[in-house]
Amino acid sequence: MNVDNVKSQMRKGMLEYCILLLLHREASYASDIIQRLKEAKLIVVEGTLYPLLTRLKNDGLLSYEWVESTQGPPRKYYSLTDGGVEFLQGLENAWDELSDTVNHLRNNIKIEQQ
């Protein structure tokens, strides 16, 4: 088993949650979302984001609107729907529970450095 593969899977599992977090603050277009995720080291390949945005939209969690741009073609700005806000609140609760559980285990079990 490869640690990098596991790290990659962990990031993928958090990606939807982090996208919803970013969009909860403000509507954004894909390039902004990609930039923020890259800065957070959660995404490396841009092609990962677009299918997720489409799926989240199809699931009724996101909506979008086209906004004219002074720097080229119109941009598609994504935002959370009411259902997306509710879903994010559920993920917040799930994250808090998972984080508490993992931290509890980490604090009570010392891993010996080899």
**What local confidence, expressed as pLDDT, does residue 44 receive?**
66
Residues with Cβ within 8 Å of 64's Cβ and at least 6 positions away in sequence, in order, are 57, 76, 77, 78, 79
> Could you tell me if residue 43 is inside a domain?
yes
H/E stretch holding 9 reads helix 3-25
Q: Which residues contact 57 (CB under 8 A, 6 or more apart)?
A: 63, 64, 78
If residue 75 lies in a helix (H) or strand (E), which one and from where to where? strand 72-80
Q: Copy the structure tokens of residue 54.
A: 């489409």
Model-level pTM?
0.85
Mean pLDDT rounded to a whole number for the chain: 91
- CATH number at 68 reads 1.10.10.10
pLDDT for 114: 60
How many domains does the structure of the chain reveal? 1
